[in-house]
Amino acid sequence: MNDDGFTAKYWHADSVETVCESLGTSINGLSVDEVRERQLKYGLNQLPAPETRGPLMRFLYQFHNVLIYVLIIAGVVTALLGHWIDASVIFAVVFINSLIGFVQEGKAEDALKAIQKMLSPNAMVLRDNRQISIPAENLVPGDVVLLQSGDKVPADLRMFRVKGLQIQESVLTGESIAVEKITEAVAQQSTIGDRRCLAFSGTLVTHGQGGGVVIATGVQTEIGHISTLVSEVESLTTPLLRQMAQFGRWLTLAILAIAIITFLFGSLVRDYEYAEMFLAAVSLAVAAIPEGLPAIMTITLAIGVQRMARRNSIIRRLPAVETLGAVSIICSDKTGTLTRNEMTVRMIVTTGNLFELAGTGYDPHGAILQAGENGEYKQLLQQSVRAAVLCNDASLEHKDSEWLVHGDPMEGALLVAGLKAGLEIDVEAKQYPRTDLIPFESEHRFMATLHHSHKGDAFIYVKGAPEQLLDMCDQQQTVSGNQPIDKDYWLHRINEMARQGQRVLAIATRSVDYEQLELNFDDVKSGLTLQALFGLIDPPREEAIGAIKKCGNAGIRVKMITGDHAATAIAIARQLKLVNTEEVLTGEQLNSMSEDELRQKVVSVDVYARVNPEHKLLLVRLMQELGFIVAMTGDGVNDAPALKRADVGTAMGHNGTEAAKEAAEMVLADDNFASITHAVEEGRTVYDNLKKAILFILPTNGGEALIILAAIILGFHQLPLTPVQILWVNMVTAVTLALSLSFEPSEQNVMRRAPRDADQPMLTPHLLWRITFVSFILMGGTFGLFMLEIDRGMSIEYARTVAVNTLVMFEIFYLFNSRYIFDSIFNWAGLTGNRYVLIAISILIFLQLAFTYLAPMQMLFGTTAINLNTWLQIIVISSSVLFLVELEKYVVRQIDSKANPPSLN
């Protein structure tokens, strides 16, 4: 063995004798002394605890963000100015943002803990020729482990004895059917799903018994290898965080540069006192910093989380909400995600006829459609389905409006087909009681049951692999009686069903004497009559087909990455109507390709089959390197590394493993692929609303900064706005008006436009122009009315009160403009479509009246009462922004009328 999580030998390609020789053991197990020596060499059979930062360091690390630095500086400056309430608000915003990040971090550690919990707690072993039960953590390579139905495999094993052993490996491979184990070696290049002589740690025994030699423990197992992959995968930052970090750096430099230039200009050109100019520069910095922006971003994302939760998408990491809006590729696991992980009989073939069964999963509702309406053929169908129901060890249970299968999923599907055909399973079992059986074994690949009816009939039913049963049959059942078997007909049907990705079972029968009470192999080795072929498949979810079409309209490519067989994968892909259903790449092909070769194919190929965890991780990484924002869905342990690496890892909440959930940013409560499209829609809406909020907030800061600059340039020794008044405007407009934009509904065409470019800055040239345009409108109107009041001989308090109220009224009118970035708001929906906007305006008007007329507020903010004529003047001037911005929108729409529609409307 080596130390990097891989087994050094290809144990699946070696014979049992070679494996035992390599490990210094035998099929009789180890002695206690040998075990003690190996435990010192290999250690315990458990996964190592992840190395994590302590809580304090995790919390402090949340402050490592340029925008947070800007806020802290704003808080310190505000505190130095003596405005402790405002400073407290700013520091509270910083603390809340950091606390959210602190709580959300640690996802990888949780994923590793979840994988650890999957390891078996106990194991049955042979030591010193005695069969004993030990804690699984005490296993060592070379131990002999005995397995039986219901056991969780405690370590990776090379099987040397199997008796009908079937193991459910979907958590590791994604394959929905339990794998029938063998003892013979397989090809060296076989993928995990094809290594049928191995049993893997953490998988579940569903049928039979077996014995195997431990070949790997702890981190050396396949599940340990996945744990290592999860711990080594670096989580990517989201597009929003990248953009906001870039914006924060740009904003910090801009504010510092403007403040320094203003300080030098006032001191050197206008001969202001240094202390006076310092306070003016501080006012300018406070004006330019959007204190409320991080809080608005957090709240907007949180509102998106609530919206998504109502649509069955649970967000575990806040920025993932916005990332969903930029997703350009969805890589989906097949089993349990695009399909239900419930086998369904889709087709029944009898002599000369074919029946198709509607419905999906274990729900017995669904019609049986026949090619033709011959009632005699339906009788033949009934006889074939009866045989499938009686030659069966599974059972169905209807619990809490859900149908559950106990036993083999394929046998459960046959019972569901019986219900669809109108049979009552319990009645059939009583009418034709079973007398004896030959259980299914991999050596003979069939199951046979002997039945006696109450009418004096006795017969054998045989169910198994079609190629095997064809050799055992010399007759075929028809509506007119038995006929010599036409093997070419049946082989053609078998190949036809296999091409459609169906797993085929054959059903045969034979009458025997009523006195026969025992069933022997000689009774079934020949002379059987073939009744029917049953084609089973884990079908696609009906809603997934519509969801994939919706993704296509939204410019999102869906790719299927599965551990299942290529034929099954391509058949499901065609039913799902993926873009490219002609090509499929298998795990073996991926192993033989270089990264450059795969990079050239990864965009065009939509179906990947028989892949292992490393392949999934590689595919996601290559797509990301090509510039795509990738969402990965999955439910198994095998999906955990890729889920963590993806921009948006999405796990299934109902059938998903804990390891998958902990590695993911999002969990689908209903296991429904269609919920992803709803989440993408909400993600795009959240990004739109963030953009609208930023487009609304920044002109306030821009207008305030321009007002301070204009006053300094024009030589005013008393500024139109004080720092505390600036903070008042910033905080109340952010908390009320900007927050209302977080509740904006989705745009009508939100899912009919291509994904946005994740590298495109949030502030495009057009939006920067809009911010500048509105900032100058706000500055012109506010500074103009301030100067007018000063010229009229009013007090500085009166003029500043007018300036603050003018600025706030500008914001109220501009809020309507901000609801649609490109479209006109001069319609009923534009003016009244968001009730939170109207509520926010009402609250803000109340706050401004208190700001203007309440004595404590006047003392705190340096304001005074103003008369009705002044209010009318303020309203007329401030309403100009509504008409000027709508005029600007109209001009932009005319210029772009012949181009593609804008990205937001």
Q: H-type helices in 9-118, by residue range?
A: 16-23, 32-42, 55-61, 66-80, 84-104, 107-117
Q: Lowest mean pLDDT of 369-378, 541-550, 880-889, name the range.
A: 369-378
Q: Lowest mean pLDDT of 276-290, 387-401, 465-479, name the range.
A: 276-290
Convert the pLDDT of each residue in 596-617 to its tens digit: 999 999 999 999 998 887 888 8
Tokens encoding 201: 């740690």
Q: Which of 737, 635, 631 is nearest to 684 (CA)?
A: 631
Convert the pLDDT of each residue in 665-682 to its tens digit: 888 888 788 888 889 998
The pLDDT of residue 104: 46
With both helix axes pointing from N to C terminus, report the angle between 84-104 and 723-732 in degrees, rounded to the nearest 10: 40
The pLDDT of residue 624: 93
The pLDDT of residue 225: 84
Q: Are 586 and 566 in contact (CB under 8 A)?
A: yes
Give the mean model confidence (pLDDT) for residues 219-231. 81
The pLDDT of residue 76: 80
Give the mean model confidence (pLDDT) for residues 577-599. 93
Q: Are 44 and 136 in contact (CB under 8 A)?
A: no
Residue 217 has pLDDT above 90, yes or no: yes
Q: Which of 167, 152, 144 is nearest to 16 (CA)?
A: 144
Tokens encoding 679: 């989440």
The pLDDT of residue 284: 77
Convert the pLDDT of each residue in 93-112 to its tens digit: 677 667 755 664 444 345 44
Q: Which of 548, 176, 502 is nearest to 356 (CA)?
A: 502
| Higher local confidence (pLDDT), 620 or 242 | 620
The pLDDT of residue 670: 80
Q: H-type helices in 311-374, by residue range?
A: 320-324
- Residue 595: pLDDT band (50, 70, 90) is very high
The percentage of the chain sitting over the pLDDT mark of 90, rounded to a whole number, equals 43
The CB density around residue 477, as the number of other CB atoms within 10 Å, is: 23
Rg (CA), the chain: 35
Residue 55 has pLDDT above 80, yes or no: no
- pTM for this one? 0.70
**Cβ-based neighbours of 636, under 8 Å, separated by 6 or more:** 170, 171, 172, 173, 174, 333, 335, 336, 656, 657, 660
- Rounded CA separation 793/775 (Å): 27
Q: Are 862 and 868 in contact (CB under 8 A)?
A: no
The pLDDT of residue 538: 87
Q: Are 557 and 579 in contact (CB under 8 A)?
A: yes
The pLDDT of residue 7: 41
- Residue 192: pLDDT band (50, 70, 90) is confident
The pLDDT of residue 899: 61
Identify the DSSP state of 339: B
Tokens encoding 18: 């070679």
Identify the DSSP state of 584: -
| Higher local confidence (pLDDT), 622 or 634 | 622
Place of tokens 């193991």: 167
The pLDDT of residue 239: 64
Convert the pLDDT of each residue in 841-858 to its tens digit: 999 999 999 999 999 999
**Cβ-based neighbours of 688, under 8 Å, separated by 6 or more:** 325, 744, 746, 747, 750, 821, 904
The pLDDT of residue 118: 45
Q: Are 649 and 347 in contact (CB under 8 A)?
A: no
Place of tokens 């144990």: 11
The percentage of the chain sitting over the pLDDT mark of 70, rounded to a whole number, equals 88
User: What rounded mean pLDDT belongs to the chain?
Assistant: 85
With both helix axes pointing from N to C terminus, report the angle between 107-117 and 222-232 in degrees, rounded to the nearest 10: 170
- Residue 836: pLDDT band (50, 70, 90) is very high
The pLDDT of residue 6: 34
Tokens encoding 15: 């014979």
**Cβ-based neighbours of 60, under 8 Å, separated by 6 or more:** none
Enumerate the active-site residues: 333
β-pairing verdict for 179-180 and 630-634: unpaired
Residue 336, sorted as left (phi over 0), alpha (psi -120 to 50) or beta, turns out to be left
- Residue 1: pLDDT band (50, 70, 90) is very low
Give the mean model confidence (pLDDT) for residues 504-525. 92
Q: Are 491 and 349 in contact (CB under 8 A)?
A: no
Burial label, 245 (beta-carbon count in 10 A; 0-12, 13-18, 19+) = middle
Give the mean model confidence (pLDDT) for residues 177-187. 89
Bridge partners, 87 (sequence order): none
Give the mean model confidence (pLDDT) for residues 472-494. 93
- Rounded CA separation 322/240 (Å): 7
Give the mean model confidence (pLDDT) for residues 447-464. 93
Tokens encoding 143: 């131990």
Q: Which of 361, 371, 365, 299 is nearest to 336 (CA)?
A: 361
Q: Are 693 and 743 in contact (CB under 8 A)?
A: no
Q: Are 385 and 345 in contact (CB under 8 A)?
A: no
- Rounded CA separation 747/742 (Å): 13
Side chain identity at 473, as an amino acid letter?
Answer: C
Give the mean model confidence (pLDDT) for residues 233-259. 71
- Rounded CA separation 872/870 (Å): 5
Q: Which of 686, 640, 806, 603 is nearest to 239 (CA)?
A: 686
Give the mean model confidence (pLDDT) for residues 625-638. 86
> Dihedral angle at the C-alpha atoms of 415, 416, 422, 423, nearest 10 degrees?
10
Rounded to whole angstroms, what are the CA distances from 75 to 68, 92, 461? Answer: 10, 10, 82
The pLDDT of residue 2: 40
Side chain identity at 735, as an amino acid letter?
Answer: V
Convert the pLDDT of each residue in 60-83 to its tens digit: 776 776 656 766 776 786 677 665
Q: Of the ranges 343-357, 513-527, 798-812, which is most confident?
A: 798-812
- Residue 373: pLDDT band (50, 70, 90) is low
- Rounded CA separation 501/177 (Å): 13
Buried b (16+ CB within 10 A) or exposed e, 539-561: bbbeebbebbebbeebebbbbbb
- Rounded CA separation 447/238 (Å): 54
Give the mean model confidence (pLDDT) for residues 416-431. 93
- Rounded CA separation 101/98 (Å): 5
- Rounded CA separation 27/17 (Å): 9
Q: Are 392 and 323 in contact (CB under 8 A)?
A: no
Residue 776 has pLDDT above 70, yes or no: yes
Bridge partners, 30 (sequence order): 127
- Rounded CA separation 321/327 (Å): 11
Q: Are 390 and 432 in contact (CB under 8 A)?
A: yes
Q: Lowest mean pLDDT of 348-352, 486-490, 498-502, 855-859, name the range.
A: 498-502
φ, ψ for residue 892 (rounded to 5)? Answer: -65, -40
**Cβ-based neighbours of 905, under 8 Å, separated by 6 or more:** 747, 749, 820, 821, 822, 823
Side chain identity at 626, as an amino acid letter?
Answer: L
The pLDDT of residue 272: 77
The pLDDT of residue 466: 93
Residue 647 has pLDDT above 80, yes or no: yes
The CB density around residue 892, as the number of other CB atoms within 10 Å, is: 16
